[in-house]
Structure 1
Amino acid sequence: MIIRWAAAGSALAGTVGAACLAAAVAGSAPSTYVSESGVPGAPHAGLYAGSMVLLATALALLAVPARRASWLIAACFLPAAPLAGVAAAVHCSPGCPLPPYETPAARDLVHAAGAIGALGLCALAMLLYATLRVGPALRRRGRIGILVAYPPLILSAAGILLAGRSLFTGVMERLALAAVCAWVVLSSAAESRSSAPPDPGSR
């Protein structure tokens, strides 16, 4: 029962958090970084921070059902949650400057480390689902995550390193976030269904 409620709570928090993040970013220029929506004074800075807290909650709750598959997978989600919380609590400075083409302040690096760390751990969880000896449904879930989320994640990182602030980097970052959020929500929903007690009428 605890596993089922944790999975359901993760799906709910992830869905609302992803929707709030999309609303916070909507209207911003696609060449900007998503984190710029959380800078104090931005139109939806509070909504952005709230969305990150909800997504952090979703990751923490997802660690509960993930433990059934492997403690290694749960160990990815547990630190990913506070890292996402860091991205909510520590906002970047205006423009969210990032190296190597801009000069960041200390808080820019802290914010970026939190966001990138959370995304990286989610990507690692996908890889573990796909490669560890887990059930076929869980392995398929990991492979879907790799197929959908890895390309924009890799291209987003390449954009930051090779192009800096640009339309390409901004679009890839948005696609990567959308893919990871969708994977977390769908994984949580699947865990909730698999943890549900059998329907007596189906016997």
Structure 2
Amino acid sequence: MADPDRAVGPARAAAASAAAGCLLAGTVAVTVAVVAGPGPGLTGYVSEAGVADSGYAPTYRIGVFALAAALLLLATALPAALRLAAALLGAGSVFTLLSAVVRCSTGCPLPPFQAATVADLVHGGSSIAAVAAVVFAMLALAWSPATTPALRRVSALGGALALPLSGAIALAMLVAGRGGLVGGLERVLLAVTFGWGLAAATALGLRRDSTVTKQSTDGNRAL
């Protein structure tokens, strides 16, 4: 018999599959906006693809909205015993949505080297909080005894990569400010979080409640 705290029923499996789809769509949209938009390439922040004077700003914002939905769906797909990780992913979804709604000004200036507006601070703070929530969700899943082995391995690897990258970005922002170093590290960190999200959604989508499957099979045999 499957452990009800660890098993994933059809509804949660469907949420995981939908999360994977939203992650793929959001990642493609954001990547297109960053690559094709008028931003400064690797020397700037990813968020610069969404500034008002960018022709690809709508594409970028749609992509971020899709990513916010993916985090919420991923939180829904987690079993009840993993409520801490689900709460962190839910918070990450809210912060991601806020970062899309509140756009930064050109260059996305942030202290301590640049003068920032209130919108810049809200956008930057919500973006940082969103990524932090996802990283902490990885760690929560990696340490929870209720996490399935496959999801624990994925989360442990994601956390092992994302945590030092996050620290390096924070240090680089304080020491060097906006530039190629921060821009490059930010893109690597986002790639790690996107990759973890897809792997986690896949692991959840493939793990179904064996009791539900057995009942369905027994019912078909009885017909």
TM-score (norm 1): 0.92
Give the secondary structure class of the aligned counterpart of 2:42: coil
Percent of pairs identical after alignment? 32
Q: Does 1:72 align with 2:84?
A: yes
Q: After superposition, give the CA deviation of every residue in 1:78-126 in whole Å (9 maximum; x if it has no partner).
A: 1111110001111001111001111110000111121111100000011
The alpha-carbon deviation at position 156 of structure 1 amounts to: 1.7
Are the aligned partners of 2:155 and 2:200 in contact in 1 as well (CA < 8 Å)? no
Q: Pick one of 178, 186, 190 that aligns with 1:165.
A: 178
Are the aligned partners of 2:15 and 2:76 in contact in 1 as well (CA < 8 Å)? yes
Q: Pick one of 149, 156, 159 that aligns with 2:162.
A: 149
Q: Does 1:123 align with 2:139?
A: no
Distance of aligned partners of 1:111 and 1:133 in 2 relative to their CA distance in 1, 3 Å threshold? same
Matches within 5 A, 1:47-196: 47-134=59-146, 135-195=148-208
Rounded to whole Å, the distance in 2 between the matches of 1:35 and 1:111 is 9
Give the secondary structure class of the aligned counterpart of 2:19: helix
The alpha-carbon deviation at position 151 of structure 1 amounts to: 2.9
Q: After superposition, give the CA deviation of every residue in 1:154-174 in whole Å (9 maximum; x if it has no partner).
A: 222222111101110000011
Q: Does 1:11 align with 2:12?
A: no
Give the structure 2 partner of residue 22 of structure 1. Answer: 31
Give the structure 2 partner of residue 46 of structure 1. Answer: 58
The alpha-carbon deviation at position 65 of structure 1 amounts to: 1.9
Rounded to whole Å, the distance in 2 between the matches of 1:10 and 1:122 is 14
Are the aligned partners of 2:12 and 2:78 in contact in 1 as well (CA < 8 Å)? no
Where does structure 1 lack aligned partners over 5 or more consecutive residues? none
Please say which of residues 138-147 and 149-158 is displaced more in the overlay.
Answer: 149-158
The alpha-carbon deviation at position 198 of structure 1 amounts to: 4.9
Q: Does 1:2 align with 2:11?
A: yes
- Counterpart amino acid of residue 195 in structure 1: R
Rounded to whole Å, the distance in 1 between the matches of 2:78 and 2:118 is 34
Rounded to whole Å, the distance in 2 between the matches of 1:133 and 1:185 is 22
Are the aligned partners of 1:25 and 1:34 in contact in 2 as well (CA < 8 Å)? yes
Are the aligned partners of 1:7 and 1:62 in contact in 2 as well (CA < 8 Å)? yes
Where does structure 2 lack aligned partners over 5 or more consecutive residues? 1-9, 218-223
- Counterpart amino acid of residue 117 in structure 2: A
Are the aligned partners of 1:129 and 1:141 in contact in 2 as well (CA < 8 Å)? no
Rounded to whole Å, the distance in 1 between the matches of 2:175 and 2:143 is 30
How many residue pairs match? The answer is: 200
The structure 1 segments of at least 4 consecutive aligned residues displaced by more than 6 Å after TM superposition are none
Q: After superposition, give the CA deviation of every residue in 1:46-67 in whole Å (9 maximum; x if it has no partner).
A: 1110111000000000011224
Q: After superposition, give the CA deviation of every residue in 1:147-195 in whole Å (9 maximum; x if it has no partner).
A: 2322322222222111101110000011111111111121112111113
Give the secondary structure class of the aligned counterpart of 1:95: coil
Rounded to whole Å, the distance in 2 between the matches of 1:96 and 1:67 is 38
Q: Pick one of 36, 39, 58 that aligns with 2:48.
A: 36
